[in-house]
Structure 1
Amino acid sequence: MPDSIEQAKRALRADLRERRQTISAHAREIAEDGVKEQLDALVESLGARSISCFLSTTTEPGTHAFVAAAVARGIRVLLPITREDGLLDWAVATPDADITEGLFGLPEPVGDVLGPIAVNDVDLLVIPAAAVDRRGMRLGWGRGYFDKTLGSMEKCPPVYAVIFDSEFVDDVPRDVHDQPVSGIVTPTRTVRIAASPA
């Protein structure tokens, strides 16, 4: 059975990846503005002073403008750094930080590296996703970094996945290690997902 789940995930990821490739540069700019507006409002509503966020790739809904504005407002933003062992290190975002290509070609900060437990102190986690379903189950890109991070946190704060509107779907394939999210942020809306029994 796990093989069929993995195959379903692979097929859905491939479809979503292909759809993201077709989004125009102009539409991406509009999406980044919308994501910034939605995340700003979410941070404000939660009173978050310390958050984690990811640096988006060119095909993801953009987070760079949000991160820069949050840092400028004095919010502590931790950015993930991928490790070979499947865990995430973290670095504090700064206004003038360099960005380099990490494992898998992902944009990552250059700076003082904090260990995996640094994220335990944040008020909000903002994470990437390929899709999220109505129950809050998240389909990631298959490397398991964020599932491991969420699964290892003793006291997990709210977790919001950033996706395009069309990626909020009825159902995603789910495996035992997959971790749900508290809600989604898209370029046009923020949806809080009520916790439901697994």
Structure 2
Amino acid sequence: MPDSIEQAKRALRADLRERRQTVSAQGREAAEAGVKAQLDALVERLGARSISCFLSTTSEPGTHAFVADAVARGIRVLLPITREDGLLDWTVATPDAEIAEGLFGLPEPVGDVLGPIAVNDVDLLIIPAAAVDRRGMRLGWGRGYFDKTIGSMEKCPPVYAVIFDSEFVDDVPKDVHDQPVSGVVTPTRTVAIDGSAA
């Protein structure tokens, strides 16, 4: 990877991480409620019955309320578990699932572990991002887990990244392994980028 791209990514991630730290507790609550409403509507529109979603950290737009409600409504939700080899295992979310600290200190579920190919059965992937640009290029946090997952799927369903409104930007630094997303979900809107869903 050219150093200039990596440096640009690092600088942008640092700026975004710092901005996320300044969001108030009230702002986080409002963001989680907004994201839940947007994701509920997206799942409904797509008729998704099996999805994957990540468990948000305290600085990300919250996904926990959405996951709990989706499970309660009978939607099969796969949650990611990081592995040392750069791949993701998955487990099915349950109402009483225990959450522990994962490989990088991120919240991860405790449950029966399904291998990386389990995600091939979902109708919708909901993934984290630091930022997404208008072309659908996603800037992740630098470990490549979701780029590898998306890139390895034979028939990839719609992929939506959850970000704050200010993180939907004109341009993000792009490298060859970076995978685009179908759209973004923010606390106030859902934007389809490739026309696959709205």
Normalised by the length of structure 1, the TM-score is 0.98
Question: Residue 172 of structure 1 corresponds to which residue in structure 2?
Answer: 172
Following superposition, the deviation at residue 194 of structure 1 comes to 2.2
Question: Residue 156 of structure 2 corresponds to which residue in structure 1?
Answer: 156
After TM superposition, where is structure 1 displaced by more than 6 Å over at least 4 residues in a row? none
Aligned length in residues: 195
Q: How does 1:136-151 map to 2 (within 5 A)?
A: 136-151=136-151
Name the aligned partner's letter for residue 82 of structure 1: T
Deviations 1:114-171 (A, max 9, x none): 0000000000000000000000000000000000000000000000000000000000
3-state SS, counterpart of residue 177 of structure 2: coil
Question: Residue 25 of structure 2 corresponds to which residue in structure 1?
Answer: 25
Q: How does 1:23-172 map to 2 (within 5 A)?
A: 23-172=23-172
Name the aligned partner's letter for residue 40 of structure 2: D
CA distance, structure 2, for counterparts of residue 126 and residue 150 of structure 1? 11
3-state SS, counterpart of residue 78 of structure 1: strand
Gaps of 5+ in 1: none
CA distance, structure 2, for counterparts of residue 7 and residue 67 of structure 1? 34
3-state SS, counterpart of residue 105 of structure 1: coil
Following superposition, the deviation at residue 2 of structure 1 comes to 1.1
CA distance, structure 2, for counterparts of residue 92 and residue 188 of structure 1? 28
Normalised by the length of structure 2, the TM-score is 0.98
CA distance, structure 2, for counterparts of residue 66 and residue 126 of structure 1? 11
Gaps of 5+ in 2: none
3-state SS, counterpart of residue 19 of structure 1: helix
Identity %: 90
Following superposition, the deviation at residue 22 of structure 1 comes to 0.3
